[in-house]
Amino acid sequence: MTTGHNVHLLPQKNQLRAIHTIIRDKDCTREDFVFHSRRVIRQLLEAGLDLLPFTKKDVTTPVGTTYHGLEFASKICAVPVIRAGEAMEGELRHLHPGIRVGKILIQRDKRTKLPHLYYQHLPADIADGHVLLLEPTGSSPSTCTPTRSSASSTARWIISSPCPPSPTTSRRGPTGNA
Residue ranges covered by each domain of the chain: 14-159
Phi and psi for 47 in degrees, rounded to 5? -65, -40
pLDDT at 157: 40
pLDDT at 115: 82
pLDDT at 67: 98
Q: Let me know: does 89 contact 134? Beta carbons within 8 Å.
A: yes
pLDDT at 146: 36
pLDDT at 3: 59
pLDDT at 72: 93
pLDDT at 70: 97
CATH, domain 14-159, list 3.40.50.460, 3.40.50.2020, 3.40.1710.10, 3.30.70.20: 3.40.50.2020
pLDDT at 16: 93
pLDDT at 53: 93
pLDDT at 68: 98
pLDDT at 50: 92
**Distance between CA atoms of 27 and 68, rounded to whole angstroms?**
48
Overall pTM surpassing 0.75 (yes/no)? no
User: Which parts of the chain sit beneath pLDDT 70?
Assistant: 1-5, 138-178
pLDDT at 108: 82
